[in-house]
Amino acid sequence: MRTFLALALVVGVAACGSEKPRAVGPAEIIARGFKIGLMLPDQTTPRWEKFDRPYITSSVAQLCPNCEIVSVNAEGDPVAQRRQLDQLTAQGIKTVILTPVDARGIQPSVDSAAARAVRIVSYDRLAEGAIEAYTSFDNFEVGRLQGQALVDAIRARGRKGEIIMLNGPITDPNSAEFKAGAHSALDGRVRIGAEYDTPGWSPEEAERESEMAMDRLGPTNIIGVYAANDGLAGGAASSIRDSGLPPDTPLTGMDADLDAIHRIMVGTQTMTIYKPIQPEAQNAAQLAVDLGAGRPIRGTSTVGNDTKQDIPAMITKAIVVTRETIKDTVVKDGFWTVNEVCNPATMKSMCAELGIT
């Protein structure tokens, strides 16, 4: 009897040991929830904290109510951002939505996270390393639209001279695409008197660079400024004002910042690029949740970085905003409210003129 009992116990234990853990499907993973990291690059550009963070957070909440967003901002410091990603990886984050400060510098931390099964969605800027997905805009086309708008504005004024180019920083991979797109429209059509890659998208640095160019070229020879985003445009606008150039000197921008919208209304900035952030954020949230749940992901196209090819990408279309189209773009979409656009009081007459009520 003892022998039989012992044998039965051994067989029972062996049987238990051979059982495989029950597979957990995507629906159950989502029902349980998991941690998603959100890594934003800076607060210099208003969009990250005002729009991207709340849009992504609300989209994740709709897709995965029990998921937890752990959000950090690198404040423009690439070393701090690498440290943040390492810390998130150690906390058991399952997926990360990352906008890199330095796309190349972040690679060791990206690869370290990937080695620990953290799935990374590169958001708005394409990071180097083993990322799983990418969501952004057609950045070459953005630059082309900016460049063409500048050419058109210069031709409409009929002046001869040179332009200043204020590109974004070389650490941002989007900058090279904006620049290439802009050059495709500008080269052979206007003379570029000075060109800068502005560190950190700094408005102060853009103002300094503009002043240097004007001192060297002579302000009367400047017929326009290509600024890759609205922060740089703000710096250039200050230089244009202080140099005595015509206040309506053609000036481009991007991001549809509220200050830029006001400059466009009064005529001190020619245009900006409105990048509908909400669909971009929704795409990022969907990709992050799908990756965390183990679902297959699909993109509208693919991209590659220096270490990986055929990365699924979700690309959103950007929109040109001019004085005449503010109402039907950023106001209509709710990006800015009528109250925001029409304040301070100096903007109210402009709003009435443009039918923004």
Per-chain mean pLDDT for the chain? 93
Give 24's pLDDT tier (boundaries 50, 70, 90). Answer: confident
26-44 pLDDT per residue, tens: 999 999 999 999 999 999 8
User: Rounded CA gap, 263 and 233, in Å?
Assistant: 10
Please say if the pLDDT value at position 1 is more than 90.
no
141-190 pLDDT per residue, tens: 999 999 999 999 999 999 999 999 999 999 898 999 999 999 999 999 99
CB-CB contact of 154 with 192 (8 Å): no
Please say if the pLDDT value at position 21 is more than 80.
no
* pLDDT for the residue numbered 204: 97
Please say if the pLDDT value at position 9 is more than 60.
no
Q: Is 128 helix (H, G, I), strand (E, B) or coil?
A: coil
Which H or E element spans position 231? helix 230-243
Q: Which has the closest alpha carbon to 136: 121, 145, 124?
A: 124
273-312 pLDDT per residue, tens: 999 999 999 999 999 999 999 999 989 999 999 999 999 9
CB-CB contact of 96 with 118 (8 Å): yes
Domain 139-275+319-354, CATH: 3.40.50.2300
Sorted by sequence, the CB contacts under 8 Å of residue 240 that are 6+ apart come out as 210, 225, 247, 249, 251, 268
CA angle (171, 176, 180) in 5-degree steps? 170
Superfamily of domain 26-137+276-316: Response regulator (3.40.50.2300)
Q: Which has the closest alpha carbon to 231: 38, 40, 39, 42?
A: 42
**Within the chain, what is the greatest distance between any pair of CA atoms?**
108
Which residues belong to CATH 3.40.50.2300 in the chain?
A: 26-137+276-316, 139-275+319-354
255-267 pLDDT per residue, tens: 999 999 999 999 9
Sorted by sequence, the CB contacts under 8 Å of residue 64 that are 6+ apart come out as 30, 33, 34, 36, 289, 292, 293
Q: How far is CA 86 from CA 124, 178, 341, in A?
A: 21, 30, 40
Place of tokens 């969605």: 121
Tokens linked to 224: 């326009």
83-99 pLDDT per residue, tens: 999 999 999 999 999 99
Tokens linked to 138: 């057609």
CB-CB contact of 99 with 40 (8 Å): yes
Kindly state the average pLDDT of the residues 124-143. 97
Q: Which has the closest alpha carbon to 127: 174, 90, 159, 161?
A: 174
User: What's the whole-model pTM score?
Assistant: 0.85
pLDDT over 70 percentage in the chain: 94
* pLDDT for the residue numbered 13: 45
